């Protein structure tokens, strides 16, 4: 089977490495010549081009560009495809993309691998990024079953854990466990930087260790991703941020009132609830 990938960055590149290791023929298209050359050098693709015509031979195409470029890419790709070609994307939001792309191409299956690092670009691509991680597929009523099966088969071969849900449910769920953490983590770094005493700020930077590393990781990542999450999942992320502000207010109140038993009860609850997510 020939697999096409448009957008040879962290996600597209990592998919290419895995799919080639599994024996698929992988054809890549990216915006810059140097990305294409690097992708070939790194073994991410069998062949790469700036030109979407390369993907005429693909049976399945993964669109791995930034979110804003996904629907325009599909529009440019369509003249080069045979009607049986299955398209899927990896965008971190689903309703906005599925609503735009499904009317353009009937064999389209929305997808989102729940895996990443703080790096971006083709050099950030790593083998095995998707293994054992969730991969969400969001077919809608009009999505042909054979197209869903085809994408599911490829995703399962990455040893990802496959989940199916409605695009809107995906967006609400990821707003709380993926998009909210990015904003909270960015807010944490910003708040630490607002320390007015330069000596204390410098000391804090020197003392930062595992706790700060864990909690600041997603806020210190690719800004483009955070902006896309907020723009394309605005309603859900605002709902999650408002709920988080309410939780923060409750914690502030407990500490202000020195209500240590209630604070202990709250922290015992969160300690026992965390394993429900991980
Ligand atoms: P990335 O590392 O910046 O890669 C995106 C690549 O797309 C860039 O290397 C760029 O290649 C290429 N590109 C940009 N515009 C293009 C266009 N118009 N046509 C063709 N190629 C284009 O970003 P990423 O982290 O892989 O994210 C890609 C997608 O994956 C996004 O939709 C994101 O929502 C989703 N996603 C990301 C993560 C994550 O944690 N990073 C996780 C899950 C899903 P050139 O160098 O050639 O310009």
Separation of CA 69 and ligand 1 centre (Å): 9
CA–CA separation, 122 and 152 (whole Å): 25
Q: Which of 45, 65, 67, 231 to mutate to test the pocket of ligand 1 (most atoms within 8 A of CB)?
A: 65
CATH T-level topology, domain 169-277: 6-phosphogluconate dehydrogenase C-terminal fold (1.10.3660)
**Burial of 64 from C-beta contacts in 10 A (0-12 / 13-18 / 19+):** buried
Is the CB of 120 within 6 Å of ligand 1?
A: yes
Closest CA to 42 of 113, 104, 115, 123: 123
Partners of 164 in beta bridges: 137
Closest CA to 6 of 18, 148, 53: 53
Domain ranges in the chain are 2-165, 169-277
Separation of CA 239 and ligand 1 centre (Å): 26
Is the CB of 229 within 6 Å of ligand 1?
A: no
> 2-165 has which CATH code?
3.40.50.720
pLDDT digit string (tens) for the chain, length 278 residues? 999 999 999 999 999 999 999 999 999 999 999 999 999 999 999 999 999 999 999 999 999 999 999 999 999 999 999 999 999 999 999 999 999 999 999 999 999 999 988 789 999 999 999 999 999 999 999 999 999 999 999 999 999 999 999 999 999 999 999 999 999 999 999 999 999 999 999 999 999 999 999 999 999 888 988 999 999 999 999 999 999 999 999 999 999 999 999 999 999 999 999 999 98
Q: Which of 5, 8, 11, 77 to mutate to test the pocket of ligand 1 (most atoms within 8 A of CB)?
A: 11
Is the CB of 7 within 6 Å of ligand 1?
A: yes
Separation of CA 63 and ligand 1 centre (Å): 9
CA–CA separation, 153 and 137 (whole Å): 12
| HEC secondary structure over the chain | CEEEEECCCHHHHHHHHHHHHCCCEEEEECCCHHHHHHHHHCCCCCEEECCHHHHHHCCEEEECCCHHHHHHHHHHHHHHCCCCCEEEECCCCCHHHHHHHCCCCCCEECEEECCCCCCCCHHHCCCCCCCCCEEEECCCCCCCHHHHHHHHHHHHHCCCEEEECCHHHHHHHHHHHHHHHHHHHHHHHHHHHCCCCHHHHHHHHHHCCHHHHHHHCHHHCCHHHHHHHHHHCHHHHHHHHHHHHHHHHHHHHHHHCCCHHHHHHHHHHHHHHHHHCC
Is the CB of 58 within 6 Å of ligand 1?
A: no
Residue whose tokens read 């979407």:
52
């Amino acid at each position: 089977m020939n697999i096409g990938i448009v957008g040879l960055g962290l996600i597209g590149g990592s998919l290419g490495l895995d799919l080639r290791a599994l024996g698929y023929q992988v054809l890549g298209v990216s915006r810059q010549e140097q990305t294409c050359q690097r992708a070939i050098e790194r073994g991410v693709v069998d062949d790469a081009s700036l030109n979407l015509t390369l993907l005429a031979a693909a049976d399945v195409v993964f669109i791995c560009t930034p979110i804003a470029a996904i629907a325009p890419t599909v529009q440019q790709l369509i003249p080069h495809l045979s009607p049986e070609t299955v398209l899927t994307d990896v965008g971190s939001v689903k309703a906005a993309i599925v609503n735009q792309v499904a009317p353009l191409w009937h064999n389209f299956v929305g997808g989102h691998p729940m895996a990443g690092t703080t790096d971006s670009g083709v050099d950030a691509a790593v083998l095995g990024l998707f293994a054992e991680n969730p991969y969400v597929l969001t077919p809608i009523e009009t999505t042909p079953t054979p197209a869903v099966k085809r994408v599911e088969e490829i995703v399962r071969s990455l040893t990802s854990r496959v989940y199916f849900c409605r695009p809107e449910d995906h967006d609400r769920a990821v707003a709380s466990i993926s998009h909210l953490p990015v904003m909270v983590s960015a807010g944490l770094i910003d708040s630490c930087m607002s320390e007015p005493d330069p000596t204390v700020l410098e000391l804090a930077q020197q003392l930062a260790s595992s706790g700060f590393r864990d909690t600041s990781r997603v806020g210190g990542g690719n800004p483009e991703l955070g902006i896309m999450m907020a723009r394309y999942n605005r309603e859900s992320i605002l709902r999650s941020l408002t709920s988080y502000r309410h939780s923060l207010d409750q914690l502030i109140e407990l500490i202000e009132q020195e209500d240590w038993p209630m604070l202990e009860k709250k922290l015992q609850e969160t300690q026992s609830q965390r394993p429900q997510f991980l």
